[in-house]
């Protein structure tokens, strides 16, 4: 793999991409042109020594390679007690063979500096880790190229390779219909996905943002090298370009998202939550670079056209410290609260996503607020689908039925897209007492509420398993049935509450979505505090169930409890509720009416 031909192929890819420059421009348009705090100096061709250097953000260090790799038992680490020795210089043979091969390849490519997380960040300093994690978007976006080692081998990657080969088809039985000199060239449109995407490295949570933020990636595969940038995907066997598979477009999706920033973000979060981390505490940090890139790019604009790079600056309209908090975007706060564990039957899940109930064995750190998707102990899906008609304001066609009053956020470290020391949401909404009953098994249950002649309650199903108090938060693997009282109910002892967040009309079929919460003890005065334990989606087709009163009960409760002389949101909500009440009543039995036992209040979601 270290042959002159291979090196020339890589140089050709670099030259072609550097000439176009679009990959670099798009990512660097939304990142600061800073240089990593420390780099590894591999010196020039023929050297067998390396050293750690402080860059002081000097431009002479601007051309460097970043390494994306998977830590193993013998991964060398920069510590305070070996820093001086690493600055003085070390022989190549003190680091693993994969590191040595990276150094050798860089020297052959005339690239002197390398950034490797284990050797450029102090591994025994939490402060240094938080500071450097906040600059990840700059480290990878400003790298000349990122080298990605998918498989850690004790023999490195500059070794003789067993290239893939296909046996020639025996044509003797075709009676001479096919000339013996004919050949087929096989194009595998899933080659990059199968060869690179399924490596141990790409199951590591940090790698998603490392590779998405990098302008160029050289994948150091077992059988050959692969090249990936926004302009092309190539391999040594097809240096002029592979036909990309649909999943290979996520890099372009990141920079070409246009007005679809919301769906791009949610798609990437779903991918990210399938990946593992050594320390669950790092989950929000490991996606902070993507969050900052998307939110910053939506403000700054991105280069447009072929070679014409114009940048449009837009002033922030909100406090940047609360624009994004613990995975939640203020403008899309309801969407980002409505996540659920992905526990659907295996047959519903695409072949290359191995998700089942056994996947939910993570232990999220208590520093993550209960309402954040990062608090889920496994893969997630979003309750609001991309094709759902979405209204950010209250209207007759649906919209929010709760209002975000305030975001309370205390930062841990310097990165506003990183870890919160504390984070809570003050939400005004309809608080409905409820009980939850775990279902008998994980089988799929219909979303429609079953008909009942009992006029004291209405019923909902949770979207996935409940994740209840107290800590440690033990969960089952099944959905729950929510029972909520109507005003006609005389006695009811709740185990939880539901708070509707939004009502939508999809193909003229209404649905209401919201959270299941539990109240926690509070110290002193102030707002009542709740934790998120689940979510619900209530579908209703009046013609299908003439006794399903859930939607009507919620709308009547809004009309009864929301003050008529309230603020602008509350007045618009009442107007909308009148329309929805008539819609919900359509198809109900004559004289059938219901109002949920509820209160309109402001809670603090923690």
CA torsion through residues 391, 395, 397, 401, sign? positive
**Which of 10-19, 20-29, 499-508 is predicted least confidently?**
20-29
Confidence of residue 588 (pLDDT cuts 50, 70, 90): low
- Percent of the chain scored above 90 by pLDDT? 36
Question: How far is 316 from 296, CA to CA, in rounded Å?
Answer: 10
Instruction: Output phi, psi for 446, to 5 deg.
Output: -65, 145
Pick the more confident residue, 513 or 591: 513
**Which of 228-232, 359-363, 366-370, 388-392 is predicted least confidently?**
388-392
* CB under 8 A, 24+ apart: contacts of 319-322: 320/416, 321/409, 321/411, 321/416, 322/407, 322/409
Q: What is the pLDDT of residue 133?
A: 83
Q: Is the pLDDT of residue 593 over 60?
A: yes
55 neighbors 39 (Cβ within 8 angstroms) = yes
Residues in the chain: 606
Of 470, 475, 473, the residue nearest 343 (C-alpha): 475
Burial of 492 (0-12, 13-18, 19+ CB in 10 A): middle
Read off the pLDDT of residues 514-537 as tens digits, 9 standing for 90 and up.
999 999 987 777 899 999 999 999
Q: What is the pLDDT of residue 476?
A: 73
Of 419, 431, 432, the residue nearest 375 (C-alpha): 419
Pick the more confident residue, 145 or 262: 145
Q: What is the pLDDT of residue 338?
A: 96
- Residue that has been written with the tokens 């692969």 in this structure: 226
The DSSP H or E segment spanning 18 is: helix 4-20
Residue 401, both tokens: 């039925």
Confidence of residue 154 (pLDDT cuts 50, 70, 90): low
Residue 233, both tokens: 């995907």
Q: Is the pLDDT of residue 113 over 50?
A: yes
Taking residues 455-480, what's their average pLDDT? 81
369 neighbors 467 (Cβ within 8 angstroms) = no
Q: What is the pLDDT of residue 289?
A: 87
Taking residues 377-385, what's their average pLDDT? 87
Confidence of residue 320 (pLDDT cuts 50, 70, 90): low
Taking residues 75-99, what's their average pLDDT? 94
CA distances from 468 to 365, 378, 437, 472, 473 (A): 15, 15, 12, 9, 6
Question: How far is 563 from 572, CA to CA, in rounded Å?
Answer: 11
Burial of 88 (0-12, 13-18, 19+ CB in 10 A): exposed
Q: Is the pLDDT of residue 419 over 60?
A: yes
CA distances from 241 to 226, 229, 230, 237 (A): 10, 11, 12, 9
Question: How far is 225 from 242, CA to CA, in rounded Å?
Answer: 13
Question: How far is 600 from 429, CA to CA, in rounded Å?
Answer: 6
Confidence of residue 233 (pLDDT cuts 50, 70, 90): confident
Q: What is the pLDDT of residue 141?
A: 87
Q: What is the pLDDT of residue 586?
A: 61
Read off the pLDDT of residues 336-360 as tens digits, 9 standing for 90 and up.
999 999 875 444 444 444 444 446 7
Of 550, 438, 454, 446, the residue nearest 495 (C-alpha): 438
Read off the pLDDT of residues 167-180 as tens digits, 9 standing for 90 and up.
555 555 555 555 66
**Which of 62-76, 157-171, 266-280, 541-555 is predicted least confidently?**
157-171
- Cα dihedral value 566, 569, 570, 572, nearest 10: 110
**Which of 85-89, 210-214, 346-350 is predicted least confidently?**
346-350
Of 524, 503, 459, 522, the residue nearest 485 (C-alpha): 459
CA torsion through residues 31, 414, 53, 113, sign? negative
Of 234, 167, 152, 243, the residue nearest 201 (C-alpha): 152
Got the DSSP string for 397-466? TEEESSEEEEEEEEESSS-TTS-EEEEEEEEEEEEEEEEEEE-SSSS---SSPPP-S-TTEEEEEEEEE-
Q: What is the pLDDT of residue 204?
A: 87
Read off the pLDDT of residues 40-66 as tens digits, 9 standing for 90 and up.
999 988 899 999 999 998 999 999 999
The residue ranges of DSSP E strands in 42-107, in sequence order, are 49-54, 64-68, 90-91
Q: Is the pLDDT of residue 218 over 60?
A: yes
Q: Three-state SS for 553?
A: helix
Q: What is the pLDDT of residue 356?
A: 47
Of 97, 104, 143, 151, the residue nearest 120 (C-alpha): 143
């Amino acid at each position: 793999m270290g042959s002159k031909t291979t090196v020339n192929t890589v140089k050709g890819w670099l030259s072609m991409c550097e000439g176009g420059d679009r990959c670099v421009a798009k990512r660097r348009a939304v990142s600061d042109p800073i240089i990593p705090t420390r780099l590894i100096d591999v010196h020039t061709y023929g050297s067998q020594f390396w050293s750690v250097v402080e860059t002081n953000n000097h431009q002479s260090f601007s051309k460097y390679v970043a390494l994306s790799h998977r830590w193993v038992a013998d991964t060398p680490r920069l510590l305070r007690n070996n820093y001086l020795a690493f600055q003085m210089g070390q022989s190549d043979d003190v680091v693993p063979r994969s590191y040595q091969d990276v150094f050798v390849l860089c020297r052959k490519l005339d690239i002197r500096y390398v950034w490797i997380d284990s050797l450029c960040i102090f591994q025994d300093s939490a402060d240094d880790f938080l500071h450097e994690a906040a600059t990840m978007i700059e480290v990878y976006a400003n790298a000349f190229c990122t080298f990605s080692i998918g498989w850690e081998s004790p023999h490195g990657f500059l070794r003789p390779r067993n290239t893939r080969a296909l046996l020639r088809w025996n044509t003797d039985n075709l009676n001479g219909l096919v000339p013996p000199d004919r050949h087929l060239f096989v194009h595998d449109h899933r080659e990059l996905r199968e060869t690179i995407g399924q490596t141990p490295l790409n199951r590591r949570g940090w790698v998603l943002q490392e590779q998405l933020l990098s302008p160029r990636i050289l994948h150091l595969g077992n059988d050959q090298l692969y090249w990936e940038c926004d302009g092309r995907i190539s391999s040594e066997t097809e240096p002029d370009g592979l036909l990309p598979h649909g999943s290979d477009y996520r890099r372009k999706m990141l920079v070409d998202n246009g007005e679809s920033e919301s769906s791009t973000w949610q798609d990437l979060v779903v991918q990210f939550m399938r990946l593992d981390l050594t320390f669950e505490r790092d989950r929000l940090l490991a996606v902070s670079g993507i969050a900052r890139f998307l939110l910053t790019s939506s403000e700054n604009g991105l280069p447009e056209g072929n070679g014409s790079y114009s940048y449009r600056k837009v002033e922030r309209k909100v406090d940047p410290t609360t624009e994004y908090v613990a995975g939640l975007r203020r403008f899309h706060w309801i969407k980002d609260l409505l996540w659920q564990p992905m526990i659907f039957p295996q047959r519903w899940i695409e072949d290359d996503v191995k998700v089942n109930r056994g996947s939910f064995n993570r232990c999220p750190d208590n520093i993550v607020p209960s309402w954040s998707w990062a608090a889920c102990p496994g893969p997630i899906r979003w309750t609001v689908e991309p094709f759902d008609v979405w209204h950010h304001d209250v209207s007759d066609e649906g919209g929010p039925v709760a209002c975000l009053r305030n975001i309370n956020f205390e930062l841990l470290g310097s990165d506003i897209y990183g870890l919160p020391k504390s984070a809570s949401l003050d939400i005004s909404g309809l608080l409905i007492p409820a009980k939850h009953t775990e279902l008998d098994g994980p089988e799929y249950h219909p979303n429609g509420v079953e008909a009942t002649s009992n006029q004291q309650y209405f019923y909902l199903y949770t979207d996935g398993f409940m994740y209840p108090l107290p800590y440690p938060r033990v969960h089952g693997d099944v959905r729950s049935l929510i029972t909520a009282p109507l005003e006609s109910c005389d006695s009811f002892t709740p185990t939880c509450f539901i708070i509707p967040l939004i009502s939508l009309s999809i193909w003229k079929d209404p649905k209401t979505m919201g959270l299941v919460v539990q109240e926690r003890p509070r110290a002193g005065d102030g707002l009542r505090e709740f934790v998120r334990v689940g979510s619900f989606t209530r579908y209703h087709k009046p013609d299908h169930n003439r006794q399903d009163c859930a939607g009507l009960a919620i709308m009547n409760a809004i009309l009864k409890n929301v003050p008529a002389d309230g603020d602008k949101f509350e007045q618009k909500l009442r107007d909308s509720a009148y329309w929805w009440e008539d819609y919900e009543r359509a198809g109900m039995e004559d004289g059938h009416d219901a109002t949920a036992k509820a209160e309109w209040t402001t809670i603090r979601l923690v």
